[in-house]
């Protein structure tokens, strides 16, 4: 039985990310888009466990990877940041902290 990401060491997580990345590359080459999307989500989850949730500050705005949307964190629960996209401020959602990037200051 496979371990949960929360039970893996950083080395095991990095090995898992490498394995998933290879599978994602193959899925993309073969045009299996739905499989690619699932694998990309698993990679994001595994990467989240390599980060420190305390580095993400409630009230701050972050950029969502692969999007121009901003994301305002309400609170962090484990490796998920709960909050609102600036493009949909009335819809709360949770994102893995690994998909959040610091906003560049203007």
Does residue 28 sit in the same domain as residue 44?
yes
Confidence of residue 75 (pLDDT cuts 50, 70, 90): very high
Q: Is residue 103 very low, low, confident or very high in pLDDT (cuts 50, 70, 90)?
A: confident
Distance CA 85, CA 27 (A): 30
Neighbour order of strands in the sheet with 61-64: 88-96, 80-85, 70-77, 61-64, 100-102
Cα–Cα distance, 99 to 26 (Å, whole number): 22
User: How many domains does the chain contain in total?
Assistant: 2
- Provide the whole-model pTM: 0.88
What confidence tens digit (pLDDT) does each residue in 14-28 have?
999 999 999 999 999
Regarding whether 81 and 63 lie in a shared domain, the answer is: yes
Q: What residues make up the domain containing 89?
A: 53-102
For the chain, helix (H) and strand (E) counts, in that order, are 2, 5
Report the CATH number that the domain containing residue 73 is assigned in CATH: 2.30.30.340
Beta partners for residue 74, in sequence order: none
Same domain, 93 and 57: yes
- Which pLDDT score is estimated for 63? 95
The CATH number of the domain holding residue 12 is 1.10.287.880
Bridge partner residues of 58 (DSSP): none
């Amino acid at each position: 039985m496979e371990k949960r990401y929360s039970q893996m060491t950083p080395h095991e997580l990095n090995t898992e990310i490498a394995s998933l990345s290879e599978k994602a590359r193959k899925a993309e080459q073969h045009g299996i888009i739905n499989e690619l999307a699932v694998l990309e989500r698993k990679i994001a989850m595994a990467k989240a466990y390599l980060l420190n949730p305390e580095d993400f500050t409630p009230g701050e705005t972050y950029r969502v990877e692969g999007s121009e949307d901003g994301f305002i964190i309400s609170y962090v629960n484990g490796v998920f940041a709960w909050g609102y996209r600036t493009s949909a401020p009335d819809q709360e959602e949770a994102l893995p902290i690994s998909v959040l990037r610091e906003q560049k200051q203007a």
